[in-house]
Amino acid sequence: MTLAPLLTDCPPISRPSRSRFGMGLQTFAPPSFALSFVLLFALSLGLTGCSILPGMNASFDKPAKVTESPEEPTDIDYTLFLVTPLLVKQLTEQADAKAAESAKNLPQPTVPSYPYRLGAQDTLRIFVWGHPDLTPVTSNVTTGTSASTPAGRTIDSQGKIFFPLVGEMNASGMTVNEFRTQLTKRLSKYIPDPQVEVDVAAFRNQKVFIAGAVAKPGVVPITDQPLRVTDAIGNVGGALENADLYDVVLTRGKESYRLNLDRLYYSGDLDINVLLTNGDVLSVPDRMTRKVFMLGEVGNSVGSNQARSYVMRRGRMTLAEVISDAGGVSPFSAAANEIYVMRVDPNATNPAEAARKPLVYKLDAWQPEALLMAEQFPIQPRDVIFVNPTGPTMIGRFIGQFFPVLTTVNTVGNSPF
């Protein structure tokens, strides 16, 4: 059996004389020869397209196509800030002001929602006292908001309802009391002083839609009771444990509003409990969008780098918390005076500008008391935190890339076979 068929693309490599390496306690080849051997071997593989190396290696040699314009160049024009007590104070005040400003821009109903106004598909129960023949069961209602008996009469798609003696009459757009008054007036032509009672057996005309991280996403009908955000979420079983209550989206017509329900539930800001109207869509996202990215030299033990993305928990998170969750800055390789927080500029007008002009905050934590500033530095979702390695660490990693190759060359050279 021969290996020749497996190496058809590679030129033969002649083994150097053993006398060049020596015997006994000598275990390393002379550096000049080992380096020459490595360079020649790598060059031969690159020139011949040898296919004996393990794994995959992507190589795209065409020039890259650069997408840019004079208004949106590819150059990164970042702004660097040194983290100071005054900067931390300003960032905290900006975060509080942003939360207060969003609370002022809450939606208001475009039309009065209450008292409830009747519409198509609503079902009414109509009683005329002393005349049981005028209140028969005429239809069945199967929704969870229907009364038991009688099922009542349903308003058709034209907004009309039929009642004996008076025939069809308009009901859409009226309140229950307005409809009762009109029906009493018409029945008085046939019945002296009619006593009429009207209530809604099923509310099926107005509804809101709840989607996302809730127990039972679906449709919630609007009834004669005011329906607010907390009522709607409660009617679908409540928000799930992984729900992001900081960024609930209310869509009304062509407009969308972001609601911070955490302030409502945990800070008592009742202004956020918006009154819902017909056609509203309430979307509750999950917390996977509220991530921060911890990269670089973190982890408190050798070989245990904990750089990865972290999902922000409920409440205010600070830079010190995020670093602590990642195991702290590495005592073996981190440059504690070069901790960077990279953030998209909130004033950017488009995604291209946001990517081209990031904000970079540098924390010099060479002295541990600087972590007190980090404990006050507010972290925002999608922040990227990077801890730089020290200079000797980078040099050591560069040199370390050659050790496996040199070790292999020496092993081959010292082999008696």
Averaged pLDDT for residues 362-375 = 89
pLDDT in tens, 268-291: 888 889 999 999 999 999 988 899
Residue 136: the pLDDT is 59
Domain co-membership, 212 together with 192: no
Rounded to whole angstroms, the Cα distance separating 404 from 401 reads 7
Contact 19, 414 (CB under 8 A): no
Percent composition of the chain: helix, strand, coil (DSSP 3-state, to 5): 30, 20, 50
Report yes or no on 170 lying in a domain.
yes
Domain co-membership, 274 together with 307: no
Residue 282: the pLDDT is 96
Domain co-membership, 243 together with 168: no
pLDDT in tens, 94-136: 888 887 777 677 887 666 667 899 999 999 999 888 888 887 5
Rounded to whole angstroms, the Cα distance separating 107 from 275 reads 9
Residue 8: the pLDDT is 41
Query: Which of the residue ranges 156-170, 303-317, 352-366 would you say has the lowest mean pLDDT?
Result: 303-317
Rounded to whole angstroms, the Cα distance separating 116 from 223 reads 7
Averaged pLDDT for residues 321-330 = 90
pLDDT in tens, 12-36: 444 444 433 333 333 444 445 555 5
Q: Indicate the residue among 287, 304, 325 that finishes a domain.
A: 287
pLDDT at 57 over 50: yes
Domain co-membership, 190 together with 233: no
Residue 305: the pLDDT is 78
Domain co-membership, 294 together with 313: yes
Q: Indicate the residue among 180, 202, 224 that finishes a domain.
A: 202
- For the chain, what is the mean pLDDT? 80
Domain co-membership, 378 together with 310: yes
Averaged pLDDT for residues 225-231 = 91
The CATH number covering residue 357 comes to: 3.10.560.10
Peptide bond into 115 cis (omega under 30): yes
Domain co-membership, 141 together with 155: yes
Report yes or no on 296 lying in a domain.
yes
Rounded to whole angstroms, the Cα distance separating 282 from 208 reads 8
Contact 151, 123 (CB under 8 A): yes
Give the domain extent around 321: 290-389
Q: Is 282 helix (H, G, I), strand (E, B) or coil?
A: strand
Rounded to whole angstroms, the Cα distance separating 72 from 64 reads 18
